[in-house]
Amino acid sequence: MKLVWKRNTGHPMSLERQATCANGLLVVASAVLAAIPETRLVGLCGTAFMGVGLVVSGVTSYCGWVRILQWFSRSS
C-alpha cells in the first residue's frame, strides 16, 4: 500500500484550524520543557498559560491567535 500525499491548493486551512494547530504545538513544546528538569518551571508555566488561554477562549469565544493570524494573512 502506497501512501499518496496530495496538496490541497484550492482550499487553504481556515484561521480556526491554524489557531488550533498553533495552540497544540505550544502545549506540546511546553510539555516537553516540563519533562526536562532544568526547564520544568518554564514548561509548567507555559502549559498553565496555554490552558488558561484555551479556557478563556472557550468561555468568551475570543481567540487571540485568530486575531494574530488575520493580521498576518492581510499583510501577504
What stretches of the chain show up as alpha helix (H) in DSSP? Answer: 15-35, 40-60, 64-75
Predicted confidence (pLDDT) at residue 76 exceeds the cutoff of 60? no
Q: What is the pLDDT of residues 1-57, one digit of tens each?
A: 677 766 666 667 788 888 888 888 999 999 999 999 999 999 999 999 988 988 998
| pTM, rounded to two decimals | 0.69
Nearest-angstrom CA–CA distance, 19 and 66: 6
Tell which wins on pLDDT, 24 or 75: 24
Grid cell at residue 56: 478563556
| pLDDT the model gives residue 14 | 81
Nearest-angstrom CA–CA distance, 22 and 65: 8
